[in-house]
């Protein structure tokens, strides 16, 4: 079978077929450079924070252009759990409303 993506582009052992997700997927090799830049920025104190914020704003602008929205309409969260939490907190529940969760999908941090 021909893979959709070149397995050589990922950090994973040869002859491994990775079919699990949930935050445990192999990283693209090109992500190593991004992590290294992040680590350098993190170690640089405030100048590094400024550099990180510039990257976020650059990505925000690119996403806004791609989705044809204003850059201020694009938000980023630190994790899926944070995003789901923000979504849940934005819902206006009223007395008598029912919440249905799939026990296999419900995470304690999201319930």
Measured CA to CA, the distance from residue 17 to residue 102 in angstroms comes to 28
Residue 39, both tokens:
């680590």
Q: Give the number of residues written for the chain.
A: 111
pTM score of the predicted model: 0.62
Q: Residue range 66-77: average pLDDT?
A: 95
Helix, strand, coil tally for the chain in percent (to 5): 45, 0, 50
- Tens of pLDDT, residue by residue over 34-60, are 889 999 999 999 999 999 999 999 999
- The CA distances from residue 30 to 8, 26, 34, in Å, are 11, 12, 7
Measured CA to CA, the distance from residue 78 to residue 68 in angstroms comes to 23
* pLDDT range class, residue 23, cuts 50, 70, 90: low
Measured CA to CA, the distance from residue 23 to residue 36 in angstroms comes to 20
pLDDT for 94: 92
Contact between residue 21 and residue 14 where contact means Cβ atoms under 8 Å apart: no
* pLDDT range class, residue 17, cuts 50, 70, 90: confident
């Amino acid at each position: 079978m021909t893979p959709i993506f070149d397995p050589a582009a990922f950090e994973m052992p040869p002859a491994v077929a990775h079919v699990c997700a949930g935050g445990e997927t192999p990283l693209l090799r090109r992500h190593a450079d991004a992590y290294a830049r992040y680590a350098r920025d993190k170690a640089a104190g405030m100048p590094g924070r400024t550099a990180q914020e510039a990257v976020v704003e650059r990505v925000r602008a690119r996403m806004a252009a791609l989705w044809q929205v204003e850059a201020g309409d694009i938000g980023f969260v630190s994790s899926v759990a944070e995003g789901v939490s923000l979504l849940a907190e934005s819902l206006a529940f009223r007395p008598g409303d029912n919440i249905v969760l799939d026990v296999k999908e419900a995470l304690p941090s999201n319930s």
